[in-house]
Amino acid sequence: MDEKTGEVLTGAVLAERVGWCADLVAGMARVLLSGHWNTADVDALASGVDATGRGLPSQAWMALRRLGWGVAPPDGVRVNDRIVRMAQEQAGRVLRSVKWRADVVAGVLASWPADPDRRTPQEWDTVRRAVPGGEYLPSGVIRSRTRQIAAYVRGSGRLPVDVFELEPSPGALGMLLLAACDGQQATIERADDGRRALLRLQLPVRPDPGAYADWSWVACPLTLPPTVPANAVLHPPTLRIAGGRVRADLAFTHPVPKPRRSGHTVALGVDWGLNTLLSAGALRLHDDGRITALAAGGQFRAAGVLAKQHRLRRTSEHLHTKTRHYTRLADPALDGRQAVLTEEIRRVAQRRSRLNDALARSAARWAVDQAITAGATVIYLEDLRSLEAGGMGSTTNTRLSQTVRGQIVRWTRHVAAETGIAVVTVPPRDTSRHCPHCLTPLRHRKAPDRPATPGWKWALCAGCGWQGDRDQGAWRRIAARGLTHQAKTITDRTSGQMAIRTVVDRLERGAVVTTAPKTSRADRSKTGLTRPRTNRPAPRRRGVPFPERPSGRTGRRPEGHAPTGRPRLPRAADRYQSVTTISAPTTRHKPRGAALGAGFHLHAHASPPRWTAPIPDPTVRMGSLG
């Protein structure tokens, strides 16, 4: 509702007025970014001190004002100072975030290798020393920046000076960061029932307000989702336009338990997979140092969602190929078709982004629920930021490269923080290669029923005889490594993320999962066929005598019990009876029945026409009249 006129605004009118204000903020933010998109200004902002040596404030808009980086609205437009603050806040956040990329690119340029496609070990050590924090930087980040620079060299014939020549000035987003404002621009209050809130903010009544009279207060009631606790403190949200509607990204603060770095006795290990997205299980660390598994573990399978994701990826690739083809043709008559394809590419990208976000949230919620059920106080994940798929075919490599591992880790930390569960990343070295019970290198096969076929799904240990699913063994190794390396857990000061960065051989030797001894004295497993308990023969079920034995290999049905002739079964206690993994059939389906005219399947026969059936003889079953 417009408080000045008392007019009730529709959703479309509210989105229009918010869009006018967001356009003014984005225009001023673009001016700031283009004017300070250089190494000197970014270094000055990242130094943390101004020209007089005083420390810069943590708020981006205050830091920019301390440095004297101001901006004015377009000519003829009148805005208050809080609108300028939002533009400075958005530009300051972007300029602060580019500092890390600038340091990485500068380190790669300073240690440019002779062959960008393949660095030597000495060149890897050189580039890691040149990049700040390069010792623990994922190698995938360095490779991606190297490819970016190599593409620039192929186009211009020389190396770029810095990241600001390599990347153009970024654009500004159309959103309102109300966190940079005070009560003179926006306020938010919670209702007495705790489920609603009232947001009041000033919005323009026209796209180019020429005076303060063109601004008015608008009251927007908000219905809080159930995820907002009743005791949470609400903060001014960020407003954005999505699908013609105003979206409010509401921030709130509420107390949560503080997670611990060490002292954990029950831990949940989570392993990544291709078809099975997550495999998780809990381990317990006993007082004597033994590590035992609490259960067989579980799997988060999202085959349907992943299949849809890959279909959208192929659709996007096809649309990009057609767009590039139209661009090469340079025909003005094809501009309309190219515009339609561009809009379709945007829609497909939006669907992929929403699908990935929903998948990441669901997987994170599943992992935290597993930890809560098992009573675990820590979740150990593999640090796969540097994973680059290769050597497994173009399709598999693409599927591995486009999984949402980073989003799942981010959402897992967010969901686990509400319950006080720590989330720690561990090095992924040899988690799927060694046996979780004896650390012997495993032999990987395609499936348990094909032990001689090389593969990667099924693992067999030649040391202790353990065999099982590759992912089921990996989460045991991850959780055991985390429990034994608790003293090596560090916490990042800026982000607060916990990680174990190095593996100590002395501690790794104790990261083995011991199996619980058998509690039963006698082995009551079945070792053969079940014999009848009495000597009384089985009753005859056939009321008529057997027909004469036909000639040939066919025989008649035996009476009573008949041994099958199979060899003696192994003892059930020694057979693996956990995860059932059967290999896919190697031969394709052959519709032999269709070739014989019997329908699609061999056992699906069409009924013959009535004129082809013989006429039944009613005198066949007629008995004697005498």
Q: Which of 489, 508, 527 is the last residue in one of the domains?
A: 508
**For the chain, what percent of residues have pLDDT higher than 70?**
79
Q: What is the pLDDT of residues 124-155, one digit of tens each?
A: 999 999 998 888 888 888 988 999 999 999 98
Whether residues 242 and 223 fall in one domain: yes
Whether residues 294 and 246 fall in one domain: no
CATH of the domain at 200: 2.60.40
Element (H, E) at 474: helix 470-484
CA 165-169-170 angle, to 5 degrees, is 135
CA trace torsion 358, 360, 362, 364 (10° rounding): -150
Q: Could you tell me the sign of the dihedral formed by the alpha carbons of 607, 613, 618, 623, in that order? A: negative
**Total tally of structural domains belonging to the chain:** 3
In a domain, 105, yes or no: yes
In three-state form (DSSP H/G/I as H, E/B as E, the rest C), the secondary structure along 214-261 is HEEEEEEEEECCCCCCCCCEEEEEEEEEECCEEEEEEEEECCCCCCCC
Domain membership of residue 243 as a residue range? 175-253
Is pLDDT at 458 greater than 90 in this prediction?
Answer: no
Residue 537's pLDDT is 57
Residue 306's pLDDT is 83
Is pLDDT at 199 greater than 50 in this prediction?
Answer: yes
Q: What residues form DSSP beta bridges with 268?
A: 282, 379
Residue 383: Cβ within 10 Å count: 19
Q: Which of 476, 508, 540 is the last residue in one of the domains?
A: 508
Whether residues 75 and 40 fall in one domain: yes
Q: What is the pLDDT of residues 378-396, one digit of tens each?
A: 999 988 765 555 544 555 5
H runs (alpha helix) in 8-118 = 11-35, 39-47, 60-66, 81-110
Contact 446, 425 (CB under 8 A): no
Region 70-91 average pLDDT: 93
φ, ψ dihedrals at 109, nearest 5°: -65, -35
Q: Which of 466, 490, 508 is the last residue in one of the domains?
A: 508
Whether residues 131 and 36 fall in one domain: yes
Whether residues 96 and 220 fall in one domain: no
In a domain, 204, yes or no: yes
In a domain, 576, yes or no: no
**Eight-class DSSP state of 553:** S
Is pLDDT at 350 greater than 80 in this prediction?
Answer: yes
Is pLDDT at 540 greater than 50 in this prediction?
Answer: yes
- Region of 241 please: left (phi>0), alpha (psi -120 to 50) or beta: beta
Q: Shortest CA distance to 21 belongs to which of 198, 190, 234, 217?
A: 217
Residue 388's pLDDT is 56
Q: Could you tell me the sign of the dihedral formed by the alpha carbons of 17, 23, 25, 28, in that order? A: negative
Q: Could you tell me the sign of the dihedral formed by the alpha carbons of 583, 584, 588, 591, in that order? A: positive
Whether residues 223 and 126 fall in one domain: no
pTM of the predicted model, to two decimals? 0.72
Strand order through the sheet with 458-461: 450-454, 442-447, 458-461, 467-469
348 pLDDT band, cuts 50/70/90, is very high
Region 325-347 average pLDDT: 89
Is pLDDT at 623 greater than 90 in this prediction?
Answer: no
In a domain, 339, yes or no: no
- Residue 169 in tokens: 């000035």
In a domain, 491, yes or no: yes
Whether residues 229 and 182 fall in one domain: yes
Residue 283's pLDDT is 94
Region 49-72 average pLDDT: 92
Is pLDDT at 332 greater than 90 in this prediction?
Answer: no
Element (H, E) at 423: strand 422-426
Task: Give the C-alpha separation, 624 to 334, whole Å.
Answer: 91
621 pLDDT band, cuts 50/70/90, is very low
Residue 122's pLDDT is 92
In a domain, 563, yes or no: no
Region 88-97 average pLDDT: 94
In a domain, 315, yes or no: no
Mean pLDDT across the chain, nearest whole number? 83
Residue 470's pLDDT is 86
Region 437-441 average pLDDT: 90
In a domain, 126, yes or no: yes
617 pLDDT band, cuts 50/70/90, is low
**For the chain, what percent of residues have pLDDT higher than 90?**
47
Contact 419, 372 (CB under 8 A): yes
Whether residues 48 and 141 fall in one domain: yes
Q: What is the pLDDT of residues 557-615, one digit of tens each?
A: 554 454 555 555 444 444 444 445 555 666 665 555 444 444 444 444 445 555 444 55
523 pLDDT band, cuts 50/70/90, is low
Q: Which of 315-319, 367-371, 399-403, 442-446 has the lowest mean pLDDT?
A: 399-403
Residue 570's pLDDT is 46
Identify the residue whose tokens are 């490599």: 397
Residue 583's pLDDT is 58
Whether residues 212 and 280 fall in one domain: no
CATH of the domain at 286: 3.30.420.10
Whether residues 209 and 242 fall in one domain: yes
